[in-house]
């Protein structure tokens, strides 16, 4: 093996041992929204459902990146992520974050809760409302205060 290949292999092994605390930095580099795409006025016009739609994808991307290392088989990734993105877990995460939220964030959570009208039959309506509230908050903060979003997501109790 050439010295350059050996060095690349060593770097790859070191990368595999990355700490999960580096995941938010990866998310910043890959998903930070340029402010020129959507204005603050446009954000205010978005419905809580639209914010929840966006927040659902951002939240799932964060969870997927959290579980990316160490490498797993795809079915293991899937089961780990599904356990975290289900409504019951999202509701728990919202309850754990609530004491940390600012007044404007609590208002977004309230709007998200009130926007959750339909739900899957298997779910308690309160759980579904809380999950939708978390997604609404994530969508809102993604568009308005990305550093604050990362601060809150890092406080979630995701376990490998």
The better pLDDT of the pair 40, 119 is held by 40
pLDDT, the chain, mean: 83
Q: How many residues does the chain have?
A: 160
Q: Which residue in the list 13, 19, 56, 145 is annotated as catalytic?
A: 56
Task: Establish whether 56 is a catalytic residue.
Answer: yes
pLDDT at 82 over 80: yes
What's residue 65's pLDDT? 93
93-116 pLDDT, tens per residue?
Answer: 999 999 999 999 999 999 999 887
The better pLDDT of the pair 79, 36 is held by 79
What's residue 8's pLDDT? 44
pLDDT at 150 over 50: yes
pTM, full prediction: 0.78
Spatial separation of the C-alpha atoms in residues 123 and 39, rounded to whole Å? 35
The better pLDDT of the pair 147, 158 is held by 147
Helices and strands in the chain: count of H runs, count of E runs: 9, 0
Domains and CATH numbers, the chain: 40-155 (1.10.1520.10)
Three-class DSSP labels, 54-111: HHHHHHHHHHHHHCCCCCCCHHHHHHHHHHHHCHHHHHHHHHHHHHHCCHHHHHHHHH
What's residue 120's pLDDT? 73
6-24 pLDDT, tens per residue?
Answer: 454 444 444 433 444 555 5
Least confident window among 32-36, 43-47, 88-92: 32-36
53-62 pLDDT, tens per residue?
Answer: 999 999 999 9
């Amino acid at each position: 093996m050439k010295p350059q290949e050996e060095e690349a292999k060593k770097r790859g092994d070191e990368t595999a041992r990355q700490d999960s605390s580096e995941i938010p930095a990866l998310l910043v580099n890959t998903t930070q929204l340029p402010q020129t795409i959507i204005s603050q006025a446009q954000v205010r016009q978005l419905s809580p459902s639209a914010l929840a739609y966006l927040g659902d994808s951002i939240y799932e991307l964060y969870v997927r990146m959290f579980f990316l290392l160490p490498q797993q088989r795809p079915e293991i990734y899937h089961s780990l992520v599904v356990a975290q993105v289900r409504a019951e877990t999202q509701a728990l995460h919202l309850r754990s974050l609530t004491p940390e939220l600012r007044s404007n964030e609590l208002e977004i959570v309230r709007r998200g809760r009130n926007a959750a009208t339909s739900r899957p039959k298997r779910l308690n309506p309160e759980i579904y409302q809380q999950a939708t509230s978390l997604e609404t908050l994530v969508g809102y903060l993604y568009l308005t205060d990305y550093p604050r979003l990362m601060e809150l997501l890092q406080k979630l109790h995701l376990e490998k």
